[in-house]
Amino acid sequence: MRKTLSKVIKGIKNPELILRHFKLKALKKNTKLSDIEFLKRKYKLVMGKDLNLDNPKTFNEKLQWLKIYWRDDRATICADKYRVREYVKEKGCEEILNDLYGVWDNADDIDFDKLPNSFVLKANHGCGYNIFIKDKTQIDIKKIKKELNKILRQKFYIKNREWVYEGIKPKIIAEKLFDIENGFPKDYKFYCFQGETKLLLVVSDRGNDTKFDFFDMEFNHLDIKKTYKNSNKEIKKPEKFKKMIEYAKKLSEDFPFVRVDFYEIEGKVIFGELTFFPGSGMEKFEPEEWDYKFGELLKLPEVKYNG
**What type of residue is 175?**
E
**Which is nearest to 240 in space by CA: 93, 99, 137?**
93
The arithmetic mean of pLDDT across residues 237-247, rounded, is 98
The arithmetic mean of pLDDT across residues 58-68, rounded, is 98
pLDDT at residue 1, rounded to an integer: 40
Sheet holding 211-215, edge to edge: 221-222, 211-215, 196-204, 187-193, 257-265, 268-275
Please answer whether residues 230 and 213 qualify as being in contact, where contact means their C-beta atoms are separated by less than 8 angstroms.
Answer: yes
pLDDT of 196-236, one tens digit each?
Answer: 999 999 999 987 899 999 999 999 999 999 999 999 999 99
**pLDDT above 90: percentage of residues in the chain:** 82
pLDDT at residue 19, rounded to an integer: 72
The arithmetic mean of pLDDT across residues 265-279, rounded, is 96
CA distances from 239 to 243, 245, 267, 271 (A): 9, 12, 7, 15
Name residues whose C-beta falls within 8 Å of residue 160's C-beta, 6 or more positions apart in sequence.
Answer: 42, 67, 277, 280, 282
Segment among 12-16, 116-120, 162-166, 235-239 with least mean pLDDT: 12-16
**Mean predicted lDDT score pLDDT of the chain:** 92
pLDDT at residue 303, rounded to an integer: 85
56-94+182-300: CATH, from 1.20.1740, 2.40.10, 3.30.470, 3.40.50: 3.30.470
Q: How confident is the model at residue 2 (pLDDT cuts 50, 70, 90)?
A: very low
Q: How far apart are CA 103 and CA 152, in angstroms?
A: 13
Examine the pLDDT at 53 and tell me if it is beyond 50.
Answer: yes
262: helix, strand or coil: strand
pLDDT of 4-38, one tens digit each?
Answer: 555 555 555 666 777 777 787 778 777 789 999 99
pLDDT at residue 16, rounded to an integer: 73
Please answer whether residues 172 and 148 qualify as being in contact, where contact means their C-beta atoms are separated by less than 8 angstroms.
Answer: yes
Per-domain residue ranges of the chain: 14-51, 56-94+182-300, 99-175
Q: How confident is the model at residue 162 (pLDDT cuts 50, 70, 90)?
A: very high
Please answer whether residues 261 and 234 qualify as being in contact, where contact means their C-beta atoms are separated by less than 8 angstroms.
Answer: no
**pLDDT above 70: percentage of residues in the chain:** 94
**What type of residue is 289?**
E
Please answer whether residues 16 and 22 qualify as being in contact, where contact means their C-beta atoms are separated by less than 8 angstroms.
Answer: no
Task: Give the orientation angle of helix 35-47 with respect to helix 15-29, to 10 degrees.
Answer: 170
The arithmetic mean of pLDDT across residues 239-248, rounded, is 98
Omega before 287 cis (within 30°)? yes
pLDDT of 67-105, one tens digit each?
Answer: 999 999 999 999 999 999 999 999 999 999 999 999 999
Please answer whether residues 263 and 188 qualify as being in contact, where contact means their C-beta atoms are separated by less than 8 angstroms.
Answer: yes
pLDDT at residue 15, rounded to an integer: 66
pLDDT of 119-136, one tens digit each?
Answer: 999 999 999 899 999 999
The arithmetic mean of pLDDT across residues 251-256, rounded, is 98
**Does the predicted model carry a pTM greater than 0.75?**
yes
